[in-house]
Chain A
Amino acid sequence: MKMGNFALMGAIISAISVFSSAAAADTKVGMITTLSGGGAGLGIDVKDGFMLAIKQSGRSDIKVVIEDDQRKPDVAVQLADKMIQSEKVDVLTGIIWSNLAMAVVPSVTTQGKIYLSPNAGPSPLAGKGCHPNYFNVAWQNDSLHNGGGAYAQSAGYKNVFIMAPNYPAGTDALNGFKALFEGDIAAEVYTKLGQTDYAAEIAQIRASEADAVYFFLPGGMGISFLKQYSGSGVDIPVVGPAFSFDQGILQAVGAAALGVRNTSQWNKDLDTTTNKAFVKSFKAEYSRLPSLYASQGFDTANLLISAIEAADISDIEAFRAALKSANFTSVRGDFKFGKNNHPIHDVYIREVIQEGDIFTNKIIGKVLNDHGDPYSKDCKM
């Protein structure tokens, strides 16, 4: 038995020492994303989109190490340390959730590595906490909610019921909506994070006499709300950000989502050559339609590739400048970075439709043009 212990220790040691060191010219990318548990769908989409772009580039000098953060902030921090200390990666990416990004990004950037966010843009990292090594390729968290406010304004709503979970991204969401909406707020409701039953809130909506509902309930929360709302007999129109109407979860909501308007910086029917090619190749590779998250993963990889082509990673100044110039064709069309390295892009309003058996979105208009974020002014960079 004692030998067994030593054998185990030996196995541990040899397993650790297997980590190979890459050749000098390679760029090593560490991807920390959620691949297990309830939120795995988003991580898988980002990963698949990212890897598709790497594959299409045909470059063999980009090495990607992928790890599962289990949606736990402490695990994510640990993995970031591992990737920087053991794997010696140059660039990190992949995190889905704002709270994990808040845990990992400051630690990564202070250690002198580049971080590219394919999702999650918490406001502190866009404002005072901005950093030259941190680039957000998806959106600042407020972006789609600003779009929601602008849409509600342009659609002529006068009295809107707004609702989000009681956590920082939720309060940010509602503030983002209110920033561009000038009408009245019928009620501002904060729900429990992870809540699954919205009967009480729906009753409040019914009693509120609002002319529209704006909600931010990502993941399963949104599915539950929409299913219950459509069965409630309340017919006040709802509007939300793309997260609750994404390709991955739309099939689970089903007909309950039909006709609902939602804001997004991307959709599969955006009429650009790059986007058409992306949608087609994603479908061919993974036999499913790409989601918003997949598009963001794809953009992130293409931004990275464009920078690698322009500069050497060992010259961090030049490499950052190459990233900042955003010299790649985004699947969402126009794309450039603001002062705080967050996207300046268009935000669209989409409608949920049915194509054959599949529920999906179509773009019905643009609500914001070259839209940045309000935190940029706090960024001293």
Chain B
Amino acid sequence: MSIVLIAEQILNGLQFGVMLFLMAAGLTLIFGVMGLINLAHGSLYMIGAFAAAAVASFTGSFILALIGALTAAAIAGAMVELLVIRRLYSKDHLDQVLATFALILIFSEGTRWVFGSFPLFLDIPRYLSGSVELPGSIQYPRYRLVLIAAGLLIAAGLGLLITKTRLGIQIRAGENDREMIAALGVDISRLYTLVFALGSALAGLAGALVGAIQSVQVGMGEPVLILAFVVIVIGGIGSIKGALIGALLVGMTDTLGDIFLVELLKLFTDPSTATSIGSSIASMAIYLLMGAVLVWRPSGLFGASP
């Protein structure tokens, strides 16, 4: 296997990782601040992608499509928080699982009702298409480089938001002691709506960005949702830093696992057996990783000990 191929795969893992981070960051914030398990986070990802596809086909502008995705997901998130989620904070995890599972059903079939049963079209803009040559004669798609840059930028922005701004201080305070910040006069319900909308917007943005190179269809959110859960559990729930590290770990494992496992097995057995066994194990790789991390550190890499 050539160095170029390995370098390219590492970039791919990085790109997958930063997109997972956008999903996981919202999920981990929402859990950290409100203590809520939101299974419907994947639906917001889907809403972002559908909104982007609709805006893009109407206006033809990718930038407007992204703005549309952000707005639609943020509005949908805020609405859901005000109408449903608000009543779930006091309930236990079980009720939250059921209610947000119900939201998945409603969102998925509702979207199909509005947009029909066929996948939608969303493409990358012409100025981002094609590939660029990186040092070491690596051909790499321009759009994916933009995704990596955008993801890292958002991660940095989110880090600043949490550590430097007033909202960030409130969020961190909310994670540590809910009663206290309410007593200090922070409008806690406004804060909750805001955090939920922020998390939703990030998911929507991820949906739109990824939707441009994938299939925009009903049910696209659930596989990503499961991965995002794996990410935040590995990273430690509530920790933005953990979400970033976890996302990169999962992205790398998933992208590189397949190829290296097959290559590794080829040293021991014939190619076709290696391919089939290697692919089978690779499809379980991230779950094995998660299991191993949890056995080693039961509350994730950066989670607070219970």
A252 and B256 CA atoms in complex are apart in Å by: 29
Q: By the criterion CB–CB under 8 Å, are B214 and A223 in contact?
A: yes
Q: By the criterion CB–CB under 8 Å, are B141 and A40 in contact?
A: no
Expressed in whole angstroms, the minimum distance between the Cβ of A93 and any Cβ of chain B is 20
Within 8 A of A (CB), among B247-295: 255-256, 258-259, 271-272, 275-276, 279-280, 282-283
Contact (A232, B141) CB under 8 Å given A196-B215, A207-B4? yes
A interface: dominant SS: helix
Q: By the criterion CB–CB under 8 Å, are A233 and B118 in contact?
A: no
Q: By the criterion CB–CB under 8 Å, are A44 and B117 in contact?
A: yes
Q: Is A203 an interface residue (CB 8 A)?
A: yes
A256 and B121 CA atoms in complex are apart in Å by: 11
Q: Is A199 an interface residue (CB 8 A)?
A: yes
Expressed in whole angstroms, the minimum distance between the Cβ of B37 and any Cβ of chain A is 23
Chain B residues within 8 Å of A37, by CB:
108, 112, 218-219
Q: By the criterion CB–CB under 8 Å, are B118 and A41 in contact?
A: yes
Contact (A233, B279) CB under 8 Å given A37-B108, A200-B258, A203-B9? no
Chain B residues within 8 Å of A207, by CB:
2, 4-5
Contact with B along A209-247 (1 / 0, CB 8 A): 000000000011101100110011110000000000000
Chain B residues within 8 Å of A233, by CB:
130-131, 139, 141
Q: Is B143 an interface residue (CB 8 A)?
A: yes
In this complex, the interface size class of chain A, counting residues with CB under 8 Å from chain B, is: 35 or more
A251 and B121 CA atoms in complex are apart in Å by: 6
Q: Is A192 an interface residue (CB 8 A)?
A: yes
Contact (A231, B215) CB under 8 Å given A199-B16, A252-B121? no
Expressed in whole angstroms, the minimum distance between the Cβ of A293 and any Cβ of chain B is 12
Contact (A206, B143) CB under 8 Å given A40-B117, A196-B215, A223-B215? no
B interface: dominant SS: helix
Chain A residues within 8 Å of B2, by CB:
207
Q: By the criterion CB–CB under 8 Å, are A190 and B276 in contact?
A: yes
Expressed in whole angstroms, the minimum distance between the Cβ of A197 and any Cβ of chain B is 6
Within 8 A of A (CB), among B68-92: none
Q: Is B188 an interface residue (CB 8 A)?
A: no
Chain A residue with minimal CB distance to B108? A37
A233 and B124 CA atoms in complex are apart in Å by: 14
Q: By the criterion CB–CB under 8 Å, are B144 and A199 in contact?
A: yes
Contact with A along B210-225 (1 / 0, CB 8 A): 1011111111100100
Chain B residues within 8 Å of A231, by CB:
124, 129-131, 141, 143, 213
B119: which of A189, A206, A220 is its contact (CB, 8 Å)? A220
Q: By the criterion CB–CB under 8 Å, are A197 and B141 in contact?
A: no
Within 8 A of A (CB), among B111-164: 112, 117-121, 123-124, 129-131, 139, 141, 143-144
List 24 interface pairs A-B (beta carbons < 8 Å), by A numbering: A36-B109, A38-B217, A41-B119, A166-B279, A166-B280, A191-B279, A196-B210, A199-B12, A199-B141, A200-B256, A206-B139, A207-B2, A207-B4, A207-B5, A219-B215, A220-B119, A221-B215, A223-B217, A224-B215, A227-B213, A228-B213, A231-B129, A248-B118, A252-B216
Please name the 5 residue pairs, one residue from A and one from B, whose CB atoms are nearest each other, closest first.
Answer: A220-B215, A233-B131, A223-B215, A252-B119, A38-B219
- Which residue numbers of A lie inside 8 Å of B, CB to CB? 36-38, 40-41, 44, 166, 188-192, 194, 196-197, 199-200, 203-204, 206-207, 219-221, 223-224, 227-228, 231-234, 248-249, 251-256
- Which residue numbers of B lie inside 8 Å of A, CB to CB? 2, 4-5, 8-9, 12, 15-16, 108-109, 112, 117-121, 123-124, 129-131, 139, 141, 143-144, 210, 212-220, 223, 255-256, 258-259, 271-272, 275-276, 279-280, 282-283
